[in-house]
Structure 1
């Protein structure tokens, strides 16, 4: 079946588009493109283009609660094939301003850790899936 359309952006509402674009540029690479005070895009190398849109009165989701603003969606990032790689990535995102939400791997049953970006959106650092 032919697609109806091509995905252009994944857009995150936030109070400060420039700041959030800079955070994700440090996490995933790329250079933010500032269109105006309301809109910034980030072309992630080998990934999707992220858009950051100013939203007055923005209220971040409360992970993992779904009864207030819900999670809406989250971004997953491959951090490496081992927990040591994820540990290094974790220290880097924390230094950039991320907040830990769930670091419990449940005795090795999970292959990810959950954080919030500076605007409160959840994202995960994951071990690279092995074929």
Structure 2
């Protein structure tokens, strides 16, 4: 295992409005708020849905490829450099313009992020937690 899914990110013109919509739809709270990023999840130490400000956002028109889906994955990892090497070996492509952003073999973007301090290690050392 290279990483663990952290958030699924949805690009949008107003992350607060969209987060409140999904919070109501799913019966979950908004657990993180900033000027351009909101999270809906069970609690503030659980991965969930992220809503990210996308200036100039063009909404998708499924199944119109001229306005494709705009969702990507954040994958938490213990070591960014080690994970980068591993995902490239799996067939990912590094995307320009941002650090630790890649495309899967079909072109879907995903980000590698440092594991938050509240999350358990992705790959605990042998013998850790045994007892």
TM-score class normalised by the smaller sequence: 0.3 to 0.5
Higher relative contact order (CA 8 A, sep 6+): 2
| Length-normalised TM-score, structure 1 | 0.47
The structure number with the bigger radius of gyration is 2
| Length-normalised TM-score, structure 2 | 0.47
